[in-house]
Amino acid sequence: MPHVEIQCFPGRTEEQKQLCAEKIADVVAETLGCKTSSVSVAIKEVVEADWKEQVWDRCVVPDAEYLYKKPGYTCD
């Protein structure tokens, strides 16, 4: 039961977020060998001013060893 959580700046339409979630679910199911009905995708919007505290410090830095795709930026 793969679960994917995307955190991004606000500004995408509901249609964009829905399409993104569907495509992510398709890729996850195909790559990991499961049904798309087993995949869940959450999209959470985080304002830029809160990004470092809510995402970088809480998710990116502590989980660095688990990141298969690391960001090309820093929040130093």
Q: What is the pLDDT of residues 20-73, one digit of tens each?
A: 999 999 999 999 999 999 999 999 999 999 999 999 999 999 999 999 999 999
Q: Which CATH superfamily is domain 1-45 in?
A: Macrophage Migration Inhibitory Factor (3.30.429.10)
Catalytic residue among 2, 10, 62, 71: 2
Confidence check: pLDDT of 12 > 90: yes
Tell me 50's DSSP state.
G
Region 2-7 average pLDDT: 98
10 is catalytic: no
pLDDT of residue 76: 83
Tokens of 47: 């304002």
What is the model's pTM?
A: 0.91
pLDDT of residue 22: 98
Tokens of 34: 């499961």
Buried/exposed 20-31: b ≥16 CB within 10 Å, e otherwise: ebeebbeebbee
User: From CA 5, how far away is CA 74, in angstroms rounded?
Assistant: 20
